[in-house]
Amino acid sequence: MATKDALIAEEGNNFGGSGSGDIATFDKNAEVVNFELEPKPIGLTKEQLEKYRNDPFWKPVRTVLFALFWLAWVLMFAGAIAIVVLSPKCAEKQKPDWWQTKVSYQLLTATFFDSDGDGVGDFAGISQKIDFLRKIGVTTVYPTPVIKIQKDEYFNSYDVVDHLSVDDRFGTEEQFKELIDTIHNRAMYLVMDLPVSTVDLSHPWFEKRDESKFVIAKPTDPGFNETNFYPFHGANNLKYLGYPSSQNPVLNWKDSEVKATINSAIQKFLDLGVDGFHIDHISQLAVDSKGKPNHDGAVKVLEELTKSVQLYVESKEELKEKKIVLFSSLKDIEELHAKAVETGILHYVIDNSFANLDEKKCEPSVAKCVHDALNAAYQRHEVDKYSPHWQFSNSESSRLASRFETPTAHLLSFLQLTLPGAVSVYYGQEYGLKNAMSKDGELKQMGVMQWYPTGKDHHGFSKESDAPIFFPETDDKLGMDNYNSQFDISDSPLKIYRKLAKLRQRDEALIVGETVRDELINDDVILFSRYIKAENNTATGSAFIVALNFGEKEQKIDFNVAPASKLIPTNKDLAKTEISVVTANVTDYKVREQHNFVESQLVLPPKQAVLLKL
């Protein structure tokens, strides 16, 4: 009888066939036979393909197909590169220069803080207070004067007696350098006045016999009666051109020593680390025979001056990456400034047209007055193609809070900080400082910076409480017209200023956003919006609406109808409007709350403002 293993072996031989490639295996443990068929090859076998390798028909076909494949691959690769190179580039985000987005703070060096108790503010005093300015959003410090000037009580930065020295009443050159370093260490900037067109009569140049070569001078013949020319103190027969008064002779920019002196001063202060220069009275850089401005000549002098700055910066390794700003003020000659900015000679012009407005000039409607001033400014900037740099108060005009009643002054500061372009604030404006009570009325806008309430070391101006200060102080009966008191109150003018100053440096809509021109409603309310415009009046990113009520009555604004509706980007939902900033007496709206202004109107109390975010 055959054994089990023998039967299985015989069965295995039967399963295996006769070498057909089928495979059979026996699993002893499971007592089963595993049977697998060898898979049939798909397509031609190797043996079958072999005969086509050198076939006279297929060999060239293969070569052609191979070449076509690589040619197609190369063409696709080249096409991809062409698409990348030739396709329209995405619009780059606007990258404003540092001076275009900053809040500049102009202060009088002599009245800001007296660090040594001699009654005069100084460079060290500014250094000690930098962190107070940084806390409220200041990014550019503009101390004036810096250069050595005539020693009188007016501290006029144009009364220059030495371009190459800092005024020793404010400290040493080392202390000025320390101030610059202190500012730079906080990622801030410092700019200064650089008088280039006039000097003071007490300048050493007027002690020389050839004094007339340094200034614009004319013979005093009988037919010459120009009232802007004044006789020299000596016994000569010449008269010099004075601007803006007889105290300030106009420099002769054709004289080599004048040019060399100014250029040396520029280089010295650039080496100290200054970030920019205010160059004013540029109309006097070139004049005709009667002392009238020669615009083309002045532009040529400015070009020469700018070129010397550029060449010096490029020659110094430590300055090559630094952008130095040169700017002027609108108060001189508007047409000249426009031409200077358009040609790139000046970086910007301070628009101080609002510094000339006051309550009386704006009767009967402050809002209409402001609306008209804004329209004039917008038209000027659009036609002349330069960005605005707004200044509402300065050392040559009465303070904002004295030209207007206090609530209106705060509204104007709110307006200034939401306008496009850069902002220049005059010290004390941030908390509503008024004119000082000076005896002759000449120094009213030059009162001391008030850090603390009355009775504490001259409002905290001087380190020594009994220091004999040379400047007047502002009456502060309620103890609120000072920095410290307002900093402790969340909705004070100072804190509102701070919120706006910081916000305009964080959100692109306020940094580089366009302005939808303001609308005047009921002769009391000014409305405008700020956002980065895209197609079909849509906004890229956030959009802001500024609403200011200058009137004596509550006003309601309906954003669903014109003219208010024209301010809203088409892709923004009024039903989800966020309250961004409000003035002190706005009680219906809280910061960061959302309101539906589709279903309800915006309610503005009298003399109040709201900044809305969409």
Confidence of residue 289 (pLDDT cuts 50, 70, 90): confident
For residue 50, the number of C-alpha atoms closer than 13 Å in the C-beta half-sphere is 4
Q: What pLDDT, in 10s, does the model give residues 151-174?
A: 887 888 989 999 999 999 999 999
pTM, full prediction = 0.82
Q: Supply the CATH classification number for the domain 100-197+253-503.
A: 3.20.20.80
Lowest mean pLDDT among 18-22, 38-42, 139-143, 415-419: 18-22
Q: Which architecture does CATH list for 512-613?
A: Sandwich (2.60)
Confidence of residue 187 (pLDDT cuts 50, 70, 90): very high
Residue 327, φ and ψ in degrees, nearest 5: -145, 165
Confidence of residue 73 (pLDDT cuts 50, 70, 90): confident
Whether pLDDT at 333 is above 90: no
Confidence of residue 273 (pLDDT cuts 50, 70, 90): very high
Whether pLDDT at 585 is above 60: yes
Whether pLDDT at 396 is above 90: no
Tokens 């140049």 correspond to what residue? 205
Single-letter amino acid, residue 511: I
Q: What are the boundaries of each domain within the chain? A: 4-36, 46-86, 100-197+253-503, 512-613
Measured distance CA(443)–CA(458) in Å, rounded: 16
| 490 close to 427: Cβ distance less than 8 angstroms | no
Highest mean pLDDT among 270-274, 288-292, 586-590: 270-274
Q: What pLDDT, in 10s, does the model give residues 290-311?
A: 899 998 898 899 999 999 999 9
Taking residues 496-502, report their average pLDDT. Answer: 95
Report CA 426 to chain centroid distance, whole Å.
16
Measured distance CA(182)–CA(440) in Å, rounded: 37
Percent of the chain with pLDDT over 90: 51
Q: What pLDDT, in 10s, does the model give residues 41-61?
A: 566 666 666 666 666 666 777
Measured distance CA(327)–CA(278) in Å, rounded: 5
What is the DSSP track for 159-211? -EEEEEEE-TTS--HHHHHHHHHHHHTTT-EEEEE---SB--TTSGGGGSTTG
Q: Cα–Cα–Cα angle for 360, 398, 137, nearest 5°?
A: 115
The residue among 517 and 12 whose pLDDT is bigger is 517
Whether pLDDT at 386 is above 60: no
Whether pLDDT at 382 is above 80: no
| 232 close to 211: Cβ distance less than 8 angstroms | yes
Q: In what order do the strands lie in the sheet with 229-231?
A: 217-219, 238-241, 229-231
Lowest mean pLDDT among 105-109, 169-173, 191-195, 327-331: 327-331
Measured distance CA(516)–CA(526) in Å, rounded: 12
